[in-house]
Amino acid sequence: MTKMTINVRKKLLKLHHNRRRKRIADYVKQSVARFAKADKAKILISPELNSFLTVRISRKPVSFTIEVEKKEDRVDVMLPGAEKKQAAEGKKEKKEEKAAEKKAASDEKKPAPADEAAAIDAEKQSPIPGQKKQF
């Protein structure tokens, strides 16, 4: 993977933001094609980069850094750290699964109805509401 910085300010500053949205992806593909010496049709922009371009760069055109990965039949273009984010999301899903398993296990260990009745009786006998009577 190679990092590349693209400055879109000179190209897009004088355009209205709606026109910027239309031209930004094409400009990025042109720059990457020149950099990677590849055909413009073989360049694939990741969905994260595409949303970044249409939302953020169309409002305020500045320079930004991308990662370019040249493969046999195509060139992948993505934001830096996109693979790290995917790995972090996988870890997050595993944590959520473990939490769900723990919750299911704790639901199985509910107190017996007799214990609940004894707790309610202890609350009724205490002089202060909501406080258990101390023995």
pTM exceeds 0.85 for this model? no
User: Which of 102, 34, 36 has the alpha carbon at shortest distance from 67?
Assistant: 36
- Give the pLDDT mean for 73-78: 88
DSSP string, 105-126: HHHHTPPPHHHHHHHHHHHHHS
Q: Where are the domains of the chain?
A: 2-80, 91-123
- Number of Cβ within a 10 Å radius of residue 40: 12
* pLDDT bracket for residue 95 (50, 70, 90): confident
Tens digit of each residue's pLDDT (9 = 90 or more) over 106-120: 766 555 555 666 666
**Cβ(29)–Cβ(43) below 8 Å:** yes
* pLDDT bracket for residue 83 (50, 70, 90): low
Query: What would the two tokens of residue 127 be?
Result: 């002089």
- The domain covering 2-80 belongs, at the CATH homologous superfamily level, to Ribosomal protein L31 (3.10.440.10)
